[in-house]
Amino acid sequence: MTTLAHTKPMTKVGSRSEPKPYVNPYVGGVLLGIVLFLAFFLTGNGLGASGGLNRLIIWVIDLVAPQHVDRVSYLLHYAGGDKNALDHWIVLMTVGIFLGGFISGWLGRRVKLETVRGPRVSVRQRWLLAYLGGIVTGFGARLARGCTSGQGLSGSATLSVGSWAFLLAFFAGGYGLAYFVRRLWN
Amino acid sequence: MAPFPLFDLIGKFATYVVYLLIGISFGAVLEMSGFALSTKLTGQFYMRDQTVFKVMFTGVIVAMVLVFGATGLGMLDYNRIWVPPTYLWPGTLGGLLIGVGFIIGGFCPGTSVMAAATGKIDAMFFVGGILTGIIVFGESLGFFDHFWNSSYMGRFTLPDLLGVSTGAVVLGTVLVAILLLWGADLVERIYDPKKKLKPDLTPAHFLGAGVLALMAVGVMVIGQPTVEDLWQRVAPEKEPLLANREVQIHPAELRKLYYDPQVNLIMLDVRDEADYNIFHIKDARRVDLDKLEEIVPELQNAPEGTVVVLMSNDETWATEGWKRLVALGVPNVYILEGGINNWLAVYGEGEHEPLATGGDETLRYVFHAALGDKDPVAEPSQHDEGIEYTPKVKIEKKAPTGGGGCG
């Protein structure tokens, strides 16, 4: 159930259920660019993901504590009164990302219940770090009003200055901390 | 011209299906590129695996060339595409945090959702973390909401910042990106020598880069449409509205809009400062015709039920402003019929004497002092004085597909 570090799916010659290799990154990039363009062309909006998760958790909060939602202005905006936080295109897109990931993974025989981790980190440690990294990311995504999909990809493609600043800061954050957490991944 | 008002064309359910399909395509592309593996994703930050950089930047420049190429060819209206407004400091700090979260947790929001779908338990914990982080954000926002709303620069793009044309920015970005991508290939080979003995770059790579660079040159050569171009494209449909007097509203209708609680009225006065200072309707904003383009994003992001009314002394300048706003895709734009002169004719009796002389677009009333909006006639009367007029304002519902971006 746990898997050590690998960056390519492991192929065993002759095995019938080996995962298929990934596409060439440039091919992936071109496909991504086309999907992004089609999103703009057909809908006027780019891609996004954090917004869907945002609305999901707010919807849950609204389910268990609606009075609280009506008192916190950030939550009110999404789910105040009768508003259904899930009634927004970004939620559909995020569900789509989940489905698309599964479909592609299934077709590529890469769906597997496993924990992907660096060779020097235990499964439990990986889970904890994933959770902590997620907290920082969730907070950061709300602060930035978007994530690598909404700001990094979509905003950059449309030449938004804030999005390019976001992108630079994203890589700075990752590279800046990489040396100090190298034990996690190497 | 794209983008299309999907809600109006195909209804809400079908529109949501479109978004679902786009999301599916996005998730699939991410997965097939290998982004379900946190070890592969973080490999980017240890140089040995440049897939993240390659996929992201190739994606950005391909989309960029297609978006601006389509706009240049008149197939797509860039002005109606969602461009995230710039909040410089919260955006930069947020980006930094996402980078930190990435190197600690191994994912970003989109990749974690996709990876969870392929069974990666670490991704599932990451998603749980994101949801937690969002809760923390919402609950603590009260302590720093001033910061969160600071450094707002609106729809601020690289061409605005650098003072060069869009085409030049696109071409420059594509060329720099191609160079960096070539560099990324080199870096991969240096940091992970056991990976490749043969060169990674085939003729296909060079061909692809060449095609993209050529397309970027094409984008620059075609150029982006001017406001005049945009107007010419919509003129067949919109010019009749002017000729048939469908968008010129009587001062009494403006008065009614002013006090209508369901209407978000934005009045734009396109006269010069001198006339504006002498007299203007209360809450009317002064905007130079040439600067109208700059406030378009604000107008497009305005809430449901927003009506924009342009006014000048007569109608000539307001009509020019109307054409520009309509060309740039602003909905619900109207002109004050007869302009300020007419407003004064209807409501100014007894307050201001009319002047017999004065050409087009001059203020033809006597003002003894420049009172601006403190003039007795400046504030629309709260009482409906029973003046007859033909109501013309029909509020077009905004396609909910616009605005809000990431939600």
A133/B101 touch (CB, cutoff 8 Å), yes or no: yes
Residues B216-228 as b or e (16 or more Cβ within 10 Å = b): bbbbbeeebbebe
pLDDT of residue A73: 86
Could you tell me if residue A128 is inside a domain? yes
Looking at beta carbons, which residues of chain A come within 8 Å of B39?
Answer: 5-7, 116-118, 185
Taking the model in full, what pTM does it have? 0.84
Q: B 72-111 residues with CB below 8 A of A?
A: 76, 78, 80-88, 90-110
Q: Is B10 on the interface with A (CB under 8 A)?
A: no
Burial of B181 (0-12, 13-18, 19+ CB in 10 A): buried
Looking at beta carbons, which residues of chain B come within 8 Å of A118?
Answer: 39
Inform me whether the pLDDT recorded for A45 exceeds 50.
yes
Closest CA to B169 of B156, B182, B181: B156
Amino acid occupying residue B153: M
Higher pLDDT, B202 or B347: B347
Inform me whether the pLDDT recorded for B407 exceeds 80.
no
pLDDT tens by residue, B327-340: 988 889 999 999 99
The average confidence (pLDDT) of chain B is 91
Counted across chains A and B, CB pairs separated by less than 8 A come out at 584
Q: How many domains does chain A have?
A: 1
Q: Which residue in B has a C-alpha nearest to residue A136's C-alpha?
A: B101
Percentage of chain B beyond pLDDT 90 is 69
- Element holding B306 (H helix, E strand): strand B306-311
Amino acid occupying residue B297: P
Could you tell me if residue A143 is inside a domain? yes
Could you tell me if residue A162 is inside a domain? yes
pLDDT tens by residue, B131-172: 999 999 999 999 999 999 999 888 889 998 999 999 999 999
- Element holding A6 (H helix, E strand): none
pLDDT of residue B2: 86
The domains found in chain B, sorted by start residue, are: 6-226 (no CATH), 228-378 (3.40.250.10)
Burial of B143 (0-12, 13-18, 19+ CB in 10 A): exposed
Q: Quickly count: other Cβ atoms within 10 Å of residue B383's Cβ.
A: 8
Task: Enter the ipTM.
Answer: 0.92
pLDDT of residue B154: 81
pLDDT tens by residue, B362-390: 999 989 889 999 998 999 988 888 888 88
- Cα separation of B105 and B114, whole Å? 15
Closest CA to A161 of B2, B161, B370: B161
Residues A23-54 as b or e (16 or more Cβ within 10 Å = b): bbbbbbbbbbbbbbbbbbbbbbbbbbbbbbbb
Q: To the nearest whole angstrom, how far is the Cα of A136 from the nearest Cα of chain B?
A: 5
A133/B102 touch (CB, cutoff 8 Å), yes or no: yes
Could you tell me if residue A184 is inside a domain? yes
Could you tell me if residue A29 is inside a domain? no
> Could you say which of B38, B82, B161 has the minimum Cβ distance to residue A45?
B82
Could you tell me if residue A148 is inside a domain? yes
pLDDT of residue A167: 96
- Residues B401 and A89: beta-carbon distance below 8 Å: yes
Q: What is the mean pLDDT of residues B39-61?
A: 95
Percentage of chain B beyond pLDDT 70 is 95
Residue with tokens 């590129």: B33
Q: What is the mean pLDDT of residues B256-272?
A: 94
pLDDT tens by residue, B288-320: 998 898 888 788 778 878 999 999 999 999 999
Inform me whether the pLDDT recorded for A121 exceeds 70.
yes
Structural domain that includes position A123: 115-186
